[in-house]
Structure 1
Amino acid sequence: MIVGWSYYAYVIQLCIGSITDIGEKVVCVVAYHLFFIMFAWAYWKTIFTMPMNPSKEFHLSYTDREILEREERGETQQEVLRRIAKDLPIYTRTLSGAIRYCDRCQLVKPDRCHHCSVCDKCILKMDHHCPWVNNCVGFSNYKFFLLFLAYSLLYCLFIAATDLQYFIKFWTNGLPDTQAKFHIMFLFFSAAMFSISLASLFGYHCWLVSKNRSTLEAFRAPAFRHGADKNGFSLGFGKNLRQVFGDEKKYWLLPVFSSLGDGCSFPTCLVNQDPEQPSTPAGLNTTVKSVGDASPFPAKPLRESQSRLLINGQSWTESDGGHEEDKHGTSNPAMVIENET
């Protein structure tokens, strides 16, 4: 409703009804529609892009669920989970060093995956649940969310800058007191206030991207076997940026998906290999089979010399086209999911 009113106030009341110079009118209308289209496109993609959920390889089989439910002691349950997760690309732990498991989803959580109590499901690389878009912001739409913030900020700044002189004229009675006066004055106040709030939020998320952190990880650092490490996923500014926006710069400013990876595993800057995970010799691309399934996972290296984003020539092995549905995850509405603490 606010965006619809701003379109009416700017195009009809300001550009067509108040601006007298034809050249200025054309420039303002054309530039406004460019900002409006990019803003609306990014906003739409953020709202209607479904968050990705962990694929079926991370869900426990019926037999494993029965075994886990029969075990009462925490340590015995962890032994079961370690056996299940030993071939999965999982390196983060709870703060106590346990396998991250969602007892309501009944799945082993991939790295950077968290449960959203609003969406009632586990979200890959969850950042936060945003009421402004009524959607969870995660791996599948984080780029769209950033572009939404950027284009909405530019949209508001453009309106405030071009509306300012007419706001001053109406305020000082430099123009006739017409119906446009209310729209132009309120339009400037709205654009200016939204610009301030959007600038702070966009700046914060730019900082998060530069550090390769999510909002949740900024408040609680991810824990590995050696302990919590807030910079565990940071690969340097350039590589952190490409992890969100992709390698092809021509897609950076467009609300099209270009983020790197599958959302289930991420390269890290850690030096020490996790002793519970299979080691990968440098320079080799190997795949690890998940328990009970033939879908391959990339064996995630931890040393710099083995990271896909740290060495341009190194690449992970990905699933073939037949497993495309698995890579995007599955969502089972019948499952009940735990709350994050």
Structure 2
Amino acid sequence: MKNENRHNAMPCCRKCLQSIPSVLLIILILFTYYTYLVEFCFMELKNQRIRQILYLIVGNCLFCMFTWCYIHVMCCKANFNIPLEYKLSYVEHNRLLNLSAPKQSEVLENYAQNRHIILWLRTSDNLIRYCMKCRQIKPDRTHHCSACATCVLKMDHHCPWTNNCIGFANQKSFILMLMYGTLACLFYTIILIEYYLHLGIIKPDLHTGFLCSGFASSLMFVMGQGAMLQEKSIDLLRKNETQLETFQRKQQRVHFEDPRLSFNLGCEENFLDCFGRNAWNWFIPKNSACGNGVTFKIRPKKNKSVSV
């Protein structure tokens, strides 16, 4: 009985530990927002009505958009719409376990053909990618996340700050979150520097301490989010590649069955593939990506996209 209780308590403890980074980030965000809204806009600018209203409108718009994106990234289901035809029954799975790796791949190849499943990616041993934990063939660009305990379509990485995986369902929202967060913190940092340079006097009191702390956290956000936005998101979006794919390509763990193929369709098509073709949806945290996250457009050596 004790062992059973201990076994049941482990997932709860793990979930609590995984939530710590996101809770700390939320506290820091709320503190920074408090210093901006109360200490700066309401207290510091109380006699400058026009500037106060302007800063409140711009700052709150950016903060609301960032919050909306953050909530969408955090609450989006990691195992978004993986079709049932990719999943094996318990009987089929147990039968598969008793076979050698080449024989397993042969069985999976037949299984995929019978269910009309198209797969372009293979393991380093040229075998079909199969998840033993989820009992399913992995769709192209899908990976198993041990933290979320599920397979994630077009998985980029597991983000501890949102306590969720970044993948097909929320990649656009994650990029927008970084963009709005960077703009909000950059705006706060610039107006605070400009205000005190113009004022020329900094009083050593609690109010100023709050503002300096808010400035420091805002500056930290600008540097951290800006670097992540450029290196981890925009650059990968431009190449239509995920962080996991970059790592696995360098390690030669996963490759195309036909080496002439690529998911890189060119900068414009890569952007539209992620953000969708309706420009009205580009700036809101809504999954407007083209396709279903299971099959993707590919590009042969000749510059022609082939939909699979």
Range class of TM-score, shorter chain: 0.7 to 0.9
Q: Which amino acid aligns with 1:4?
A: L
Aligned mates of 1:67, 1:270 — CA distance in 2:
37
Counterpart residue identity of residue 58, structure 1: Y
1:11 paired residue among 34, 37, 55? 37
State the 1:66 CA deviation: 4.0
| Maintained 8 Å contact 1:244/1:260 | yes
CA contact (8 A) 1:110 1:124 kept: yes
* Bigger Cα displacement from structure 2, 178-187 vs 235-244: 178-187
- Give the distance between the partners of 1:76 and 1:50, measured in 2 at CA: 34
1:256 equivalent to 2:286? Answer yes
2:163 equivalent to 1:126: no
Q: Of 51, 58, 68, which residue of structure 1 is paired with 2:86?
A: 58
Contact 2:120 2:258 in 1 (8 A): no
Among 207, 211, 220, the alignment partner of 2:239 is: 211
The match for 2:57 is 30
SS in 2 for 1:196: helix
Q: SS of the residue aligned with 1:181?
A: helix
Structure 1 match to 2:141: 112
**Separation of aligned partners in 2, 1:10 and 1:79:** 61
Secondary structure of the corresponding residue to residue 153 of structure 1 = helix
Q: 1:100 aligns with which of 129, 133, 142?
A: 129
Match of 1:224 in 2: 256
The ranges of structure 1 where at least 4 consecutive aligned residues each deviate by more than 6 angstroms after the TM superposition are none
Say which SS state the counterpart of residue 260 (structure 1) adopts: coil
Unmatched tracts of structure 2, length 5 or more: 1-26
Change (3 A) 1:62 1:7: closer
Cα distance in structure 1, aligned partners of 2:50 and 2:273: 42
Greater CA drift, 124-133 or 82-91: 82-91
Across the aligned residues of Structure 1 and Structure 2, the Cα RMSD in angstroms comes to 2.0
Higher-helix-fraction structure:
2
The more displaced of 55-64 and 87-96 is 55-64
Mapped to 2, the partners of 1:37 and 1:74 lie a distance apart of 51
In structure 2, how many angstroms separate the alpha carbons of the residues matched to 1:137 and 1:232? Answer: 21
Report % sequence identity: 31
**CA deviation map 1:29-86 (0-9, x unaligned):** 1111111111111111110111215221101134432432342x22222211111122
Q: Who is 2:194 aligned against?
A: 165
Structure 1 unaligned segments of length 5 or more: list them. Answer: 272-302, 309-315, 317-341
Separation (CA, whole Å) in 2 of partners of 1:115 and 1:103: 10
Query: Is the contact made by 2:40 and 2:211 (CA closer than 8 Å) also made in structure 1?
Result: yes
SS of aligned partner of 1:197: helix
Report if aligned partners of 2:41, 2:56 keep a CA contact under 8 Å in 1.
Answer: yes
Shift of 1:106: 1.4
Question: Deviations 1:223-260 (Å, cap 9, x if unpaired)?
Answer: 01244x7x710000010001110000111011112111
Q: Does residue 75 of structure 1 match 2:102?
A: yes
1:195 aligns with 2:222: yes
TM-score normalized with structure 1 length: 0.75
SS at match of 2:223: helix
